[in-house]
Structure 1
Amino acid sequence: MAASPSHRRQAPFLIGLVLILAALPVGWFVFLREPPAPLPPSEPPRRVVTDAEAKKAVELVLSSFEGTVDVKHGEAGTWEPASKDMALRPTDVVRTGRGSWAVLLNGESVELRMEAETEISVEEISNELSKVMLSSGLATATVRGRPNVRHTFVLKAKNGDAEASTSQGTFTMSNNGKGTVSVGTREGDVKLTGKEGKYVIVRAGQRSIVRPGQAPTAPDPIPSSVFMKMEWPKGKKLREAKLTVTGHADPGARVMMGGVIVPTDADGGFTLNLDLQEGSNAVQVTAVGVGGAPKEETRELVLDTRPIIETENPW
């Protein structure tokens, strides 16, 4: 039986309604749905920094020098001539010869100048700490503070109890090789430690002395010149070629005769054993301290060993 005319008219309407309903989800998805937020840009995986790497040792560099400078890698190593920009690491030892000097750098944080006949050994180097031992001689450290960076420099004395440290400033330390130490501060504040951890703060323009087994002395102003007193022989002419001369200088001061270091004791006393030549002998003694002008004395000693001829008085 054929479909009625009313059913034929409803068929297109129903088909269109079905198509509209089917298109609604598609239209919402295309036109009305908010687009998803963009994904953040991918980052490379972060590397975990270990404590050891955070305190990674940096190099102490032998920046410049003049004269004879030798380096030994480790206590068991052999001495070899230094080279410019040589990297130094813990256990390395550096020494300067007579009339020589050297400058060591730890990046922009520390500058250490070694004077003639000075020996140091490197103990520890890191971004936060530099620790050096002064075996003997005279060395000046300059520590520069930088924004957001705190670096501490420590200079220890071999054969003694003295240890000087600062995070910003300039100071000089001398060690007579037996642990008697003098420290003078030019800029900033320096903590100077002695026996049993007792310490003083040595401020700019002050000095302090540490003897083995003792606490640091109370800081006092650095004198304008180094103290030195000599006990020269009396008389213009000497009969003996071998002569002993004694003297006294500030404890920790370096005493030199003719450019050669003279050993001193804990109180600054020293002895010169001279071998004189016939005739005039010029003897020059110099004392150098951690501040103030050096003290120098020169004495002409005349050796006359000619026999004394006695003449009879004709009268």
Structure 2
Amino acid sequence: MVAPPSRRRQAPFLIGLVLILAALPVGWFVFLREPPAPLPPPVPSPAAASAEVKKAVELVLSSFEGSVDVKHGEAGAWMPATKDMPLRPTDVVRTGRGSWAVVLNGEAVELRMEAETEVSVAELSDQLSEFLLNNGMATATVRGRPNVRHTFILKAKGAEAEASTAQGTFTMSNNGKGTVSVGTREGDVKLTGKEGKYVIVRAGQRSIVRPGQAPTEPDPIPSTVFLKMKWPAARQKKSEVVIAGRIDPGDRVMVGGVSVPTDEKGDFKLTLPLKEGRNTVQVTAVGVGGTRQSEQQDLTFEKIIFEPETGKIFE
């Protein structure tokens, strides 16, 4: 049976309508849909961000007095220091007898080296200053600045001791044999010893690290320095004499202006040559709190003369 004419006329219309409806989603996707938002840039890792933020800074030997030497690297040769001399990592600075020096890291750090002290530069940036106290005594002042955090680290060579602070003033002494003392004047200092054990040394306190031990519990810095001497007889028949005594562990002692090594108990001993006649010997102990204590003794060397012809001895 043949379809009526009206149905034959509706067929093309229905087919066209279906095609139009099917094309609508494709047209919307191609012409009207908004493009997807771009992917955010990759977030750098904390280590990479830190590397980008850190900037090298210039370290200078700003002032000094007396005999001060510098060498570039452990294998370098010692040379006399000059004012405003730039320093860089691996450089070493030493002060001689009766000398001192001040090292500046921009406006962030000031490091004052006392007599007969040696310091090595480890790392420098606008966020971190790291030094190594090879021996002697040094005082660090770390200044906090708005929106800038600067960490200062002072390690002791030959000892398991590390002091760090972001703001404050502290003094470290290193006897070169593993005994280290830290005294804080301003701010808080983290003092780390064996196996990462640490204490917080607050203003007016000190702590001591002995060989192979953790830091002692901080206690108040004494108002006076302990110094106990064992003086020899005032009249001597020999041209040299032994000077001995004891100070607090970690403090420094000087005999006649020369630094004398101490052991972990604070004991020291020095053989001192004598000239003929009276010899005035002065012993000075210096604590990390900046206090001093001195004792003085006159030792007289009486030269003995033997006359073989007569067998007489003359003094």
TM-score range, shorter chain: 0.7 to 0.9
Partner residue, 2:147: 148
Name the CA distance, whole Å, in 1 between partners of 2:50 and 2:148: 17
Q: Which amino acid in the other structure matches residue 258 of structure 1? A: G
Q: Which structure 2 residues correspond to residues 13-24 of structure 1 after superposition, within 5 A? A: none
Take 2:128 and 2:182, find their aligned partners in 1: how far apart are those partners? Answer: 20
**What is the Cα-based RMSD across aligned positions, in Å?**
1.9
The structure with the largest alpha-carbon Rg is 1
Q: How far 1:65 sits from its partner (Å)? A: 1.2
Amino acid at match of 1:201: I
Residue 296 of structure 1: how far off its partner (Å):
0.5
Q: TM-score, length-normalised on structure 2?
A: 0.79
1:141, 1:170 within 8 Å by CA — same for their partners in 2?
yes
Gaps of 5+ in 1: 1-47, 311-315
SS of corresponding position for 2:212: coil
Deviations 1:219-266 (Å, cap 9, x if unpaired)? Answer: 1111112111001124x4222333222110111111111111111111
Question: Against the structure 1 CA distance between its residues 242 and 69, is the aligned structure 2 distance closer, same or farther, given a 3 Å change threshold?
Answer: closer
After TM superposition, which residue ranges in structure 1, 4 or more long, deviate above 3 angstroms?
48-53, 305-310
- Whole-angstrom CA distance in 2 between matches of 1:114 and 1:141: 9
* TM-score when normalising by structure 1: 0.79
1:271 alignment partner AA: K
Counterpart of 1:302 in structure 2 is 300
Instruction: Report if aligned partners of 1:222, 1:292 keep a CA contact under 8 Å in 2.
Output: no
Alignment correspondent of 1:179: 178
Match of 2:299, SS state, is: strand
Question: What is the deviation of 1:279?
Answer: 2.2
Residue in 1 aligned with 2:277? Answer: 279
Aligned-residue identity in percent: 72
**SS of 1:297 mapped into structure 2:** strand
Per-residue CA deviations over 1:166-200 (Å, capped at 9, x if unaligned) read 00100000111222111000000000000000111
8 Å Cα contact 1:170/1:185 also seen in 2: yes
* Aligned twin of 1:242: 240
Counterparts of 1:241 and 1:51, CA distance in 2: 62
Residue ranges of structure 2 left out of the alignment (5+ in a row)? 1-43, 307-311
Residue 113 of structure 1 is matched in structure 2 by: 112
Offset of 1:54 from its aligned partner?
A: 2.3
Greater mean deviation of Cα atoms: 225-234 or 51-60: 51-60
Shift of 1:275: 2.1
Structure 1 position 57, deviation (Å): 2.0
What is the match of residue 75 of structure 2?
A: 76
Map of 1:1-315 to 2, 5 A cutoff?
A: 52-234=51-233, 236-306=234-304
Contact preservation (8 Å) 1:174, 1:252: yes
Taking structure 1 as reference, are residues 74 and 53 closer, same or farther at Cα in structure 2, changes over 3 Å only?
farther
Seen in structure 2, the aligned counterparts of structure 1 residues 53 and 222 have a Cα distance that, compared at 3 Å, is same
Secondary structure of 2:195's counterpart equals helix
